[in-house]
Amino acid sequence: MRTSPSASPSPIDEHTPLPADDPYLIAFGDDEQGHAVPRSEAIRVYATVAAADVEPRDRNWTVAGRCGAPGKLVTKWGPFVHGNPYLRTNRCAACGWLVAIDLLTIQQELDALAPSADVRPVFARLLADPAPAATICEAIVTAATADDDAFDLDHPVTVQLLAHVTAHEPRLLVPEACAEDECHHMPADAPDGWRCPLPDARVACAACSTLAGSWAGEWQGTFLDQCTVTAPCGVLLTVAQHYGVDITGSEVTHS
């Protein structure tokens, strides 16, 4: 699954080197998303800023992300890749898919939508398909590459659909007591080292739910009980129905 930085990045200066050989760097957008910046564009902006005779506070690091959204180039955040801590929850999904299409790493993008091995059994218990977003995105990719009547893989419609489905991937909601190993789910005959299997965990859609804002302090980003939408949400069900894929354990027909 995918923490955003605690604050907006500070402007870098001309002495901050570009990471070597990485095809895409990161720009921090006004939407607080991390966007992918092609290396060629990063080099252009970097050179322009370095040559400008202006005060550091007046340097313009604005650059267009791969999806077209503007942002501020932040070379010290490293490359736009899975595993970068600056992109754990604020990674632009559209940029992610465009980069995957550009670099032919679509399978890696699909794999990133699947739950990690340690929680996959929990997802499998709670959902008929433990990785519904991955299943749907794979169907979209297959249709775009195999169906002559479908939009091409890099067409804006295809990318928009892939990004939209990605934004609605199920999130695992773990009770605080379980997360802190302070729950009482351990049976009397449990062996040493046994861990709680999260019997009270739920899955929800962050895009459809309401998350606590900055007013919540350290709890910012947590799901509000007043509006927590269970996964798979209506968006996933609708797109799955269109592409004829089953994410609920019941047969579907292609719409």
pLDDT in tens, 185-229: 765 556 666 667 888 899 999 999 999 999 999 888 899 999 999
Other beta carbons within 10 angstroms of residue 57's beta carbon come to: 6
pTM of this structure: 0.84
- Asked if 216 contacts 182 with a C-beta cutoff of 8 angstroms, the reply is no
Question: Which of 92, 112, 132 delimits the end of a domain?
Answer: 112
Q: Binning pLDDT at 50, 70 and 90, where does residue 11 land? A: very low
Task: Let me know whether 237 and 127 are in one domain.
Answer: yes
Residue 4 lies in a domain: no
Question: Which of 112, 135, 151 delimits the end of a domain?
Answer: 112
Distance CA 150, CA 157 (A): 10
Q: Is the pLDDT higher at 30 or at 7?
A: 30
Q: Binning pLDDT at 50, 70 and 90, where does residue 59 land? A: confident
Cα-trace Rg, the chain: 21
Counting other chains too, the contacts that 97-106 makes at CB distance below 8 Å and 24 or more residues apart are 97/159, 97/162, 97/163, 97/166, 98/36, 98/66, 98/67, 98/154, 98/159, 99/23, 99/24, 99/36, 99/66, 101/153, 101/154, 101/159, 102/23, 102/66, 103/23, 106/141
Distance CA 130, CA 141 (A): 19
Strand order in the sheet with 24-29: 34-38, 24-29, 70-73, 62-64
85-122 pLDDT, tens digit per residue, is 999 888 999 999 999 999 999 999 999 999 999 899 99
Residue range 223-240: mean pLDDT, rounded: 96
In three-state secondary structure terms, 92 is coil
**Cis preceding-peptide flag for 232 (omega within 30 of 0):** yes
Is 77 a residue whose pLDDT tops 80? yes
118-137 pLDDT, tens digit per residue, is 899 999 999 999 999 999 99
Task: Let me know whether 146 and 226 are in one domain.
Answer: yes
* Residues facing residue 34 across a β-bridge: 28, 91
Other beta carbons within 10 angstroms of residue 247's beta carbon come to: 24
Provide the pLDDT for residue 38: 94
Phi, psi of 151 (to 5 degrees): -70, 150
Task: Let me know whether 31 and 91 are in one domain.
Answer: yes
| Residues in contact with 164: Cβ distance below 8 Å, sequence separation at least 6, in sequence order | 93, 235, 239
Task: Let me know whether 31 and 48 are in one domain.
Answer: yes
First to last CA, the chain: 30
Provide the pLDDT for residue 1: 38
Q: Binning pLDDT at 50, 70 and 90, where does residue 2 land? A: very low
Task: Let me know whether 137 and 254 are in one domain.
Answer: yes
Distance CA 166, CA 70 (A): 21
Task: Let me know whether 142 and 82 are in one domain.
Answer: no
Provide the pLDDT for residue 10: 46
Distance CA 106, CA 127 (A): 24
Distance CA 2, CA 170 (A): 11
Domain around 76: 19-112
Provide the pLDDT for residue 48: 82
Provide the pLDDT for residue 183: 80
Provide the pLDDT for residue 251: 59
Question: Which of 112, 131, 165 delimits the end of a domain?
Answer: 112
| Residues in contact with 3: Cβ distance below 8 Å, sequence separation at least 6, in sequence order | 85, 88, 89, 221
Provide the pLDDT for residue 168: 97
Q: Give how many domains the chain has, as a whole number.
A: 2
Is 172 a residue whose pLDDT tops 50? yes
Q: Binning pLDDT at 50, 70 and 90, where does residue 27 land? A: very high
Phi, psi of 81 (to 5 degrees): -140, 160
Task: Let me know whether 249 and 130 are in one domain.
Answer: yes
Task: Let me know whether 41 and 136 are in one domain.
Answer: no
Residue range 59-83: mean pLDDT, rounded: 90
Residue 168 lies in a domain: yes
